[in-house]
Amino acid sequence: MNNNLYSNKRLSWIRAILALALVGWMALIYLKSNEPYQTQDIRPLLTEWFPAAAINYWLPHLEFNYSGQLITWKEPYAMLEFFLRKSAHVLEYALLTGLWFSNLQWTRFKYYSILLSPILAVLYAITDEWHQSFIAGRTGHAIDVAVDSIGCLIVIMLIWLFRSRRNINRGVKRS
pLDDT of residue 173: 53
The string of DSSP codes covering 61-83 is --EEEETTEEEETTSHHHHHHHH
pLDDT of residue 1: 47
The string of DSSP codes covering 105-153 is TTSTTGGGHHHHHHHHHHHHHHHHHHHHTTSTT----HHHHHHHHHHHH
Contact 43, 77 (CB under 8 A): yes
| Phi, psi dihedral angles at 137 (to 5 degrees) | 80, 5
Altogether, the residues listed in the chain come to a count of 175
Report the SS3 class of residue 34: coil
pLDDT in tens, 76-110: 888 899 999 999 999 999 999 999 999 999 888 88
Say what the pTM is.
0.84
pLDDT of residue 38: 75
pLDDT of residue 175: 43
CB-based contacts of 172, cutoff 8 Å, min separation 6: none
pLDDT of residue 88: 95
pLDDT of residue 174: 47
pLDDT of residue 3: 58
Evaluate the CA torsion angle 103, 108, 112, 115 in order and state its sign: negative
Q: With a cut of 70, list the residues of the chain below it in pLDDT.
A: 1-7, 171-175
